[in-house]
Amino acid sequence: MVTGGTGALGSAVVETLLGAGAHCVLPWMDESELKRFARRDDPNVKLIQVPTLSDEAAVAKLYDAAPHLWASIHLVGGFAMAPVADTDKAALLQQLDMNFVTCFLCCSAAVRAMRKRQAGGRIVNAAARPALEWRAGAGMAAYAASKAAVAALTVALAEEVAKDGILVNAVAPSIMDTKMNRDAMPKADQAAWPKVEEVAATIAFLASPDNKVTRGAVVPVYGRT
């Protein structure tokens, strides 16, 4: 399962997983993103339209479509840049909904599915650099807080489910080298940004059977930034 799998990082993750022989289930919401997704006709990719991943019933139905779940990778989310004084309750809740609630509900559904199989599994979440370096969240505090919640969830859940053979980790990317970020920050040192393929390689390892011992980690994937 790869949420956010049709996005820039998600597409790179799916590409890496398919190359390793995985079968991928991908929820999608954005039709324009789906049209750009190069693997939409791949027989090893199952695409499922969902209205939202912040609704328990929608998430439960999604995970019912993955009865042989080994790994659940949660990349869906959103970003908002605004100082605290200019962030109202609605904007705060939107960030929590997109980044933390979606992750929490997918983690919960994934654990239930993996426990049913009794074969262990892997969960990988997406935090962010401000989740580890709180001062970096200045000017985007709602986003930073929502990603810090993802980091805390990751570590707590890893302790809960280790006995089930489920290893839970997260990555914490800095600004990644994507077209959107290049367009938004044309004067930045873009060469220092981590490539999505490089971040995807870390995610794929954490989600793989080759990862036998790493759990409760929030792994910085900063490149040279």
Domains of the chain (ranges plus CATH)?
A: 2-221 (3.40.50.720)
Q: What pLDDT, in 10s, does the model give residues 2-25?
A: 999 999 999 999 999 999 999 999
Cα-Cα end-to-end distance for the chain: 30
Phi, psi of 219 (to 5 degrees): -85, 120
Q: pLDDT band at residue 148, thresholds of 50, 70 and 90?
A: very high
pLDDT 10s digits, 45-90? 999 999 999 999 999 999 999 999 999 999 999 999 999 999 999 9
Residue 201 has what pLDDT? 98
The model's pLDDT over 153-195, given as tens digits with 9 standing for 90+, comes to: 999 999 999 999 999 999 999 999 999 999 999 999 999 999 9
Average pLDDT in the 102-129 region?
98
pLDDT for residue 9: 97
Query: What is the pLDDT, as a whole number, of residue 103?
Result: 98
Q: How far is CA 203 from the centre of its chain?
A: 9
Chain mean pLDDT for the chain: 97
pLDDT score, position 194: 94
pLDDT at position 215: 98
pLDDT of residue 202: 98
Contacts of 175 (CB under 8 A, 6+ apart): 181, 185, 188, 193, 225
Residue 20 phi/psi, 5-degree rounding, is: -90, 0
3-state DSSP of the chain: CEECCCCHHHHHHHHHHHHCCCCEEEEECCHHHHHHCCCCCCCCEEEEECCCCCCHHHHHHHHHCCCCCCEEEECCCCCCCECHHHCCHHHHHHHHHHHHHHHHHHHHHHHHHHHHHCCCEEEEEECCHHHHCHHHHCCEHHHHHHHHHHHHHHHHHHHHHHHHCEEEEEEEECCCECHHHHHHCCCCCHHHCCEHHHHHHHHHHHHCCCCCCCCCCEEEECCCC
Q: What is the pLDDT of residues 134-145, one digit of tens each?
A: 999 999 999 999
**pTM score:** 0.96
Q: How far apart are CA 4 and CA 200, in angstroms?
A: 13
Catalytic residue among 104, 143, 193, 222: 143
What pLDDT score was predicted for residue 51?
95
**Cα separation of 142 and 119, whole Å?**
37
In whole angstroms, give the CA distance from residue 142 to residue 160: 27
pLDDT, residue 132, reads 97
Q: How confident is the model at residue 99, as a pLDDT?
A: 98
Answer yes or no: 143 catalytic. yes
- Asked if 151 and 143 count as a contact pair (C-beta separation under 8 A), the reply is no
